[in-house]
Each structure stands twice: as structure tokens, then as C-alpha cells.
């Protein structure tokens, strides 16, 4: 696939089927992530693939965070369940920590490049993804479940991977709105 075609086809998938993604496709996407540019070659991105048992724990935590133990109807539980359990893979993206603020900023940029490479590689294999953030991605219990040390790494998002419905087209910025010329 042409790179520009993959860039234009990539979309955030919100609704995933339960179809599994082969391991080779996941590994190819990680290899693509590892080709991202990175100042000072710190390679600060890590992807933690969360297995089924731990996915259940993440689901329970999400229900707790979202509904705070209030009584909820089954429909809402089912929607959250499908959201968290349907995608074939949950990769927790984290960034290696540093005390150097300049490096931290550049490391985050490198991580974002790595995640984009990963998503584009998946597109080439006909697989969708979604980068999500929110309370669950910063909650200390998530670090515990994923066995990620908060003193060594910061979770920067959940990357949901799988097959799903491609959302409707959205308006993108025009070239004129983002490109300026100064002569």
C-alpha cells in the first residue's frame, strides 16, 4: 500500500468486532513503531500487551471509575464491556520517565510518532486501532494491573487494536489553513 493511502485510510475505530488479529501483524506494527524518529535515540516507547485475565480486571476498574459503584443498568455495563473486551488487543503505551523536561517533551513526540507508525502498519494489514486516554489510563490501579512501574514509566494511552467499523468521514483542515508562506 502507498504510504499516503495508508495515512488517509487510518481512522480511529470506536466499534470493534471480536475477531482476533494474528500475532505477526501485531509484531510487524511494533517493528514499525520502532522505526520512529527519536532525538538522542532514547527510544522511550513501550507497549504492554494486556492478556485476557488482566483485560477483565481493567474492565472491572473502568466500571468502578465510571459508575462509582452506583447502581447501573445492564445495558450500560454491556456497552462498556464490549468497548473493553471486544478489541483483539489492548496495548498499553507508556513512555520511559526522565527528570530532564526538554527530553521528556521530545520523548513524548517520539512516542506519538511511534504510535502513528504502529497505526499505519496496522492499516496496511487491514487492521484498525484507537488511541484512548482518560481516567483509567492515569489511575494507579492500571499501573498495578499492567505491572508497569509508575516511577519508571508513564502511561500515555491505551491502544486498542482489532477489526471494526470505519467511522464516517470527518472534515480535515485544508492545506491553506495549516500552511503559511512567508516571503
Where does residue 40 fall: left (phi above 0), alpha (psi -120 to 50 degrees), or beta otherwise? left
Q: How far apart are CB 181 and ligand FMN at their closest, in Å?
A: 26
Q: Exactly one of 9, 12, 48, 83 binds ligand FMN (CB under 6 A); which one?
A: 12
The H or E element containing residue 115 is helix 101-124
Q: Exactly one of 16, 45, 47, 131 binds ligand FMN (CB under 6 A); which one?
A: 131
Sheet holding 128-132, edge to edge: 45-49, 89-96, 153-162, 128-132
Query: In whole angstroms, what is the distance from residue 100 CA to residue 117 CA?
Result: 25
Query: In whole angstroms, what is the distance from residue 125 CA to residue 121 CA?
Result: 7
60 binds ligand FMN (CB under 6 A): no
Q: How far apart are CB 44 and ligand FMN at their closest, in Å?
A: 15
46 binds ligand FMN (CB under 6 A): no
Q: Exactly one of 79, 134, 138, 165 binds ligand FMN (CB under 6 A); which one?
A: 134
Residues in the site for ligand FMN, rule: CB under 6 A? 11-12, 131-134, 157, 170
Amino acid at each position: 500500500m502507498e504510504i499516503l493511502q495508508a495515512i488517509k485510510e487510518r481512522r480511529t475505530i470506536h466499534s470493534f468486532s471480536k475477531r482476533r488479529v494474528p500475532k505477526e501483524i501485531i509484531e510487524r506494527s511494533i517493528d514499525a513503531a520502532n522505526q520512529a524518529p527519536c532525538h538522542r535515540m532514547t527510544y522511550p516507547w513501550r507497549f504492554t500487551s494486556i492478556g485476557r485475565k488482566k483485560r477483565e480486571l481493567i474492565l472491572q476498574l473502568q466500571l468502578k471509575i465510571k459508575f462509582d459503584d452506583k447502581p447501573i443498568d445492564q445495558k450500560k455495563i454491556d456497552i462498556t464491556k464490549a468497548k473493553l473486551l471486544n478489541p483483539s488487543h489492548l496495548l498499553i503505551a507508556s513512555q520511559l520517565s526522565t527528570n530532564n523536561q526538554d527530553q521528556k517533551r521530545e520523548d513524548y513526540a517520539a512516542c506519538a510518532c511511534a504510535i502513528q507508525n504502529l497505526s499505519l502498519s496496522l492499516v496496511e494489514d487491514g487492521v484498525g486501532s484507537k488511541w484512548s486516554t482518560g481516567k483509567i489510563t492515569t489511575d494507579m490501579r492500571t499501573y498495578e494491573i499492567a505491572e508497569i512501574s509508575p516511577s519508571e514509566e508513564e502511561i500515555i494511552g491505551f491502544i486498542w487494536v482489532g477489526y471494526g467499523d470505519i467511522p464516517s468521514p470527518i472534515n480535515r483542515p485544508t492545506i491553506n489553513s495549516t500552511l503559511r508562506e512567508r516571503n
